[in-house]
Structure 1
Amino acid sequence: MNTYDVKVKNRIKRIEGQLRGILRMMDEGEDCKAVVTQLSAVRSGADHTISVIVSENLKECLLDVTSKNANNDSVQEAMDLIVKSR
């Protein structure tokens, strides 16, 4: 996938904002539970973003294969991304 959807970029920006918020919480001495809760939200957001990117990549690879512009290596690369993202 060479280009990234605006929605995906916005997800990354949201995660970036959450991480900045977590750093601020740490500087302000927030309790462990609040920090861990926010870190869990960041992890969940990152996992979902990875899923969106990988699924789009897989879709593009499959479309390339069906249009005969690519070979099975493209599909294998997409599958490797899925495994790596877990």
Structure 2
Amino acid sequence: MYDIDITVTVDAVGKWQATGRHAGALDTTQREGWDFLMEMDPHFSIVFPGEDRGGITVRVVEAEDGTLTLMEAPDWDGSVSVTFDLT
């Protein structure tokens, strides 16, 4: 789990866009974990305070400056193929 501060805007046809940042600076271990998850699969489930664990599936893109762009991923089927090199 990572706390993200996000700003959501909705256009005239109801499509939303969101940008954000980590709520707090990530320590070394958290950064390594975040980078690992992003490399493995950049799809996450957003859960808003007070809601159950369902949430919205989004694809996250992180810019060089740490800004996160969140895009709804309704077509994501929840599967991913990952290859690890553990040498």
TM-score (norm 1): 0.24
Q: Which has the higher contact order (CA 8 A, sep 6+)?
A: 1
Larger Rg: 1
Q: Identify, as 1 or 2, the structure richer in strand.
A: 2
Given the two structures, how large is their TM-score scaled by the length of structure 2? 0.24
